[in-house]
Structure 1
Amino acid sequence: MNRPAVRNALDQSLVARLREALTSAESIGADVVVLRGEGPSFCAGADLSLLANHDRASAQTPRNHLSAIWDLTLAIEHSPVVFVAVLHGHAIAGGLELALACDVVVAATGTLIGDGHVRHCLLPGGGASARMERTLGRGASAWLALTGKFLPADDPVFAPWLRSVVPPTELDETVAAIVTSLTDVSATARASYKQLLDETHGSLSASDRDRELDAFDRHWLANDVPSALRAFLTKTREAS
């Protein structure tokens, strides 16, 4: 992901390019895709300036954009390719949702991880409500969801999920070792086992996507979320 100036916030172009990269990886028979973020952070979530441009008074919601993010995460989960997410800086909101869809996740020490949606009067729109509890458990997911707080990667709540938490200087070496371990086994067996794990977990579908996005739309239309986003963006620009 290469939008470092905005912490790789997910706009329409970036989501489309990620989906194209996934399709390309599958078409060439890639074994592993490593998902990383350029610059100071992995991903800070959906582009808030894009969301803020939707006119609530005209009953506009960013559902199409969020649906594209959801569909990307579904494609990652259902793909025979193994996805390794490499977190650093921030992995919050949509960034966390991308990571939750990946198969193996490693983080640099100091990475802040969180849901964060409620900080901006938002509900999730990229799968957090469907994936966070099954990955982190009820207690941790409820805390992250309902407070919007960010926790460091080495917090014990992430221990069952993160494969490794290492100093930034060791991140490349750790990722290389993970890729080697994944590619040392039978590709067909690995792909079939991934599918089995997905089905055993309770494979997510368009119905799960629509349930979350329906709730997002109801909340968006009942509250002046765009104004809250614009106020936050103005404050952030003035502070910088």
Structure 2
Amino acid sequence: MGRYVASERRDAVALVTIDNPPMNALSAALLEELEAELEELDTDDAVRAIVLRGAGDRAFVAGADIKEFPALRESASEGGSARGIQQVGRRMDAARTPFVAAIRGYCLGGGLELAMCCDVRICADDATLGQPEIKLGLIPGGGGTQRLPRLVGHGRAMFLNLTGDFVDAATAHAWGLVEKVVPAAELEDAALAVAGRIASQSPHAVAVLRELARTTRDLPLEEGLRREADGFVRCLRSEDGAEGVAAFIEKRPPEFTGR
């Protein structure tokens, strides 16, 4: 257990908690610790899904640690919080393990950028989401100008980024920013349930699917379809693919190994 990040196991699911009171702001040290923890979990074959949440009930993550910005400006460094969020996001993109965000309370700025790095976002009905960087004379620097339009479309992303306005959980769901909204008291169970269903699938097929989603997003349809067909064949030839088909024919639960 680190200073800012803790993880615990729930069967094949790892529950990772960001803990930096009062609002779980993303400092450079926290991001470094988070990246190291996710790296370790991703290399553990026993972990088949990761749930990411914020400690307490006030915030998933309320943003980057703005107190670090003056020093970042003075040094003109490229190693500040914005790049740190992008670096963590790239590591999550490249992981074999899928991520589920459990969002409660404020999910703003770098917090929303971190949530958007996850594959699935489960949201409490008390959540508030947004990219308020424009109000500081800044722009999102952890992926908010790139990941947000890919989820909600150009116009809605520009609205959020240009106004800095917040949206509630119901609006976030209607816009496609989150996949499910549940009562706040049920958030952890709901996120773990989704992660558990993902963890029960073939790790090999999950990894192939995540790779396709990442690498074909901006490709022409025909090229994407070609790569999808290649991925299907890879899965069909895998041990998990053979096991899944055999289990279906034999009317029994499959026993996937990730091979």
TM over 0.5: yes
Whole-angstrom distance in 2 between the partners of 1:62 and 1:146: 25
Partner in structure 2 of residue 122 of structure 1: 138
In the alignment, is residue 72 of structure 1 matched against residue 91 of structure 2?
no
Structure with the higher fraction of residues in strand conformation = 2
Partner in structure 1 of residue 214 of structure 2: 198
Shift of 1:159: 4.2
- Deviating 4+ runs (over 4 angstroms): 156-159
Partner in structure 1 of residue 204 of structure 2: 188
List gaps (5 residues or longer) in structure 1.
204-240
2:85 and 2:113 in contact (8 A); partners too:
no
Bigger RCO (CA 8 Å, 6+ sep): 1
Partner in structure 2 of residue 91 of structure 1: 107
In the alignment, is residue 177 of structure 1 matched against residue 193 of structure 2?
yes
Partner in structure 2 of residue 61 of structure 1: 76
Counterparts of 1:6-45 in structure 2, within 5 Å, are 7-29=23-45, 30-39=47-56, 40-45=58-63
Partner in structure 2 of residue 107 of structure 1: 123
Identity rate, percent = 30
Structure with the higher fraction of residues in helix conformation = 1
Whole-angstrom distance in 2 between the partners of 1:96 and 1:35: 12
Query: How many residues are treated as equivalent by the alignment?
Result: 199
Q: Cα RMSD (Å) of the superposition?
A: 1.6
Deviations 1:105-147 (A, max 9, x none): 0110121100111011111110111111011111210110000
Whole-angstrom distance in 2 between the partners of 1:170 and 1:129: 31
SS at match of 1:64: coil
Whole-angstrom distance in 1 between the partners of 2:141 and 2:77: 9
Whole-angstrom distance in 1 between the partners of 2:187 and 2:170: 14
Deviations 1:167-226 (A, max 9, x none): 1111122112202210221111111111111112149xxxxxxxxxxxxxxxxxxxxxxx
SS at match of 2:145: helix
2:63 partner letter: G
TM-score (norm 2): 0.73
1:34 and 1:86 in contact (8 A); partners too:
yes
List gaps (5 residues or longer) in structure 2.
1-17, 220-259
From 39, 49, 52, the equivalent of 2:70 is 52
Shift of 1:4: 2.0
Structure 1 residues 187 and 54, CA gap change in structure 2 (3 angstroms): closer
TM-score (norm 1): 0.78
Whole-angstrom distance in 2 between the partners of 1:62 and 1:107: 34
